[in-house]
Amino acid sequence: MTDMSYSPPRSGNRTVKIALRWTLYIMLGLFALFYLMPLFVMVTTSFKSLDEIRTGDLISLPREVTFEAWRTAWSGACTGIQCEGVRPFFWNSVLIAIPAVLLSTLIGALNGYVVAQWRFRGANLFFALMLFGCFIPFQVVLLPMARMLGLMGLAGTIPGLIFVHVIYGLGFTTLFFRNYYVSIPSELTKAAKVDGAGFFRIFWSIFLPLSLPIIVVTVIWQFTQIWNDFLFGVSFSQAGTQPVTVALNNIVNSTTGVKAYNVDMAAAIIAALPTLFVYVVAGKYFVRGLTAGSVKG
């Protein structure tokens, strides 16, 4: 609604308008090119044979297109003794990411709702403590966390990894929801309370329906962070619970082995597909919130 087509007819010079529109699309297109550049390199490399890559022309279209690298990356590349590609590790990542994203988003939404709308003494202090927690470097968390997981009996397990991801995601999810809810007028909550609605009822029937765009942002952030996490995944897993990033790392990162760049690139793109899927699906709900109408109504 903030777009130019809603401007009053007063400025109605059609040619200026069309020119503006074109400039807009050209700018968006140029940015898209910048963002796509590395993907171009990755995709073309993944379609080359290793012999062609070895001749040294790394940034050029493939002379001969082959899908071999994709097949290898999915189901044939060695990630250790096992040579079954990234496929067997996908399920572990799914089992970790989905519960962790849902839990941390839900808790974050409730936290944000309380901090923004049910202000009590100390609520802001809580929020500040939470935010500062976003900055704790994971490298130093690793060792004490390993000890805690051991004490809790969660070492090397998928619930352990979910637990860790929820804990270190809470700061961000709380931040996103609080900063979104804080701009919703508090009269809304007050009016609902007068009408006899309780804490959860107000959250469920008033706030949640308003939250689509921020839920999308939160899910995008959390899913990306958790799916792409390597440090926790490698440290708190054991044989059988390793996530896909560890498999990808094992394919890509060999110091003294022969490098297969085409397989590396294909594996990286395959490993990113679920995240891209989330972007596309969640993106559909990137619609204008219903704030205006429902608040006034």
Partner 1 sequence: MTFKLLGAASCVAIIASSAAFADGHAKPEAEVLHYWTSGGEAKSVAVLQEEFAAGGGTWTDMPVAGGGGDAAGTALRARVLAGNAPTAAQIKGPAIQEWYEEGVLADISAVAEANNWSELLPEAIAGHMKCEDTWCAAPVNVHRVDWIWANAEVLSANGIEMPTTWDEFNAAADKLQAAGVIPLAHGGQAWQDATVFEAVALGILGADGFRKAFVDLDMDTIKSDEMVAVFDQMRKMRGYVDSNFSGRDWNLATAMVMNGEAAFQIMGDWAKGEFMAAGKVPGEDFLCLSTPGEGFLYNVDSFAMFEVEGDDKQAGQALLAELVVGASFQEVFNLNKGSIPVRTDVALDNFDSCATLSSDDMAASNEGGSLLPSYAHGMALRGAQAGAITDTVTAHFNSDMSSADAVAMLADAIANSM
Partner 2 sequence: MTKWLEEHMPKLVLAPSFIIVLIFVYGFIGWTAWVSLTRSRLLPKYEIDGFIQYDRLFSSPRWETAFSNLFVFGFLFIVIAMILGLTLAILLDQNIRTEGAIRTIYLYPMALSMIVTGTAWKWILNPGLGLEATVRGWGFENFTFNWLVDPDMAIYTVVIAAIWQSSGFVMALFLAGLRSVDQEIIRAAQIDGIPTWRVYTAIIIPAMAPIFLSAFIVLSHLAIKSFDLVIALTGGGPGYATDLPATYMYTMAFSRGDIGQAASSAMIMMMVVFAIVVPYLYSELRVKDD
Task: By CB under 8 A, name the binding residues for partner 1.
Answer: 51, 54-56, 78-83, 142-143, 145-147, 149-150, 155-156, 231, 234-240, 242, 246, 249-260
Query: Quick one: 67 or 200, whose CB is closer to partner 2?
Result: 200
**Residue type for position 187:** E
Say which residues have a Cβ less than 8 Å from residue 132's Cβ, sequence separation at least 6: none
Query: Quick one: 13 or 255, whose CB is closer to partner 1?
Result: 255
Q: Which does 82 bind (CB under 5 to 8 A by kind): partner 2, partner 1, none?
A: partner 1
Q: Which does 83 bind (CB under 5 to 8 A by kind): partner 1, partner 2, none?
A: partner 1
Q: Which does 126 bind (CB under 5 to 8 A by kind): partner 1, partner 2, none?
A: partner 2
Nearest to 108 by CA among 161, 172, 182: 172
Distance, CA of 219 to CA of 213 (rounded, Å): 10
Q: How far is the CB of 67 from partner 1 (least distance, A)?
A: 19
Q: Which does 179 bind (CB under 5 to 8 A by kind): partner 2, partner 1, none?
A: partner 2
Q: How far is the CB of 43 from partner 1 (least distance, A)?
A: 20
Query: Quick one: 52 or 264, whose CB is closer to partner 2?
Result: 264
**Per-residue DSSP letter, 6:** G
Whole-Å CA distances, 213 to 58, 126, 216, 282: 40, 25, 5, 9
Question: Does residue 112 contact residue 203 with C-beta atoms inside 8 Å?
Answer: no
Distance, CA of 196 to CA of 191 (rounded, Å): 9
Query: Quick one: 127 or 158, whose CB is closer to partner 2?
Result: 127
